[in-house]
Amino acid sequence: MPWPDVWTYGNWAFQAAIVVAAVVVSRWRRRRITEEVALLPEDMRRLVGPAPYHMPPPAERRPEGLRRYAAQYDRFRRPGRLLWGVFALWVAVVVCVAVIQEIG
């Protein structure tokens, strides 16, 4: 059975869906981080980075009150990394199939 053509609309649709999902997750993450920053006391809010990223300070300079926020910040990053990982894996599969088609 021959390999399917890697440049079909199905592959491009899947890749586009992953990119759209990653953008949606990124916006969701920024919104959730902004909500978390709004819950911080004013003195702690000044310690995080500027909007829209609100990065917590490095671990060695992080006060006790920001440890929970820093953990949430890292936790909100996981879905986006997972989606970009799936996208990278899919692109690798498509490239490998294209190479196999060229060889065979």
Predicted confidence (pLDDT) per residue in 31-88, tens digit: 999 999 999 999 999 999 888 788 888 889 899 889 999 999 999 999 989 988 988 8
Q: Number of C-alpha atoms within 13 angstroms, CB side, residue 35?
A: 8
State the total domains in the chain.
1
pLDDT of 8: 60
On whether residue 21 sits in a domain, the answer given is yes
On whether residue 1 sits in a domain, the answer given is no
DSSP 82: H
On whether residue 59 sits in a domain, the answer given is yes
pTM: 0.72
On whether residue 36 sits in a domain, the answer given is yes
On whether residue 3 sits in a domain, the answer given is no
pLDDT of 27: 92
On whether residue 40 sits in a domain, the answer given is yes
- Helix-then-strand count for the chain, H and E: 3, 0
Range of the domain at 69: 9-99
On whether residue 4 sits in a domain, the answer given is no
State both tokens at 44.
């702690």
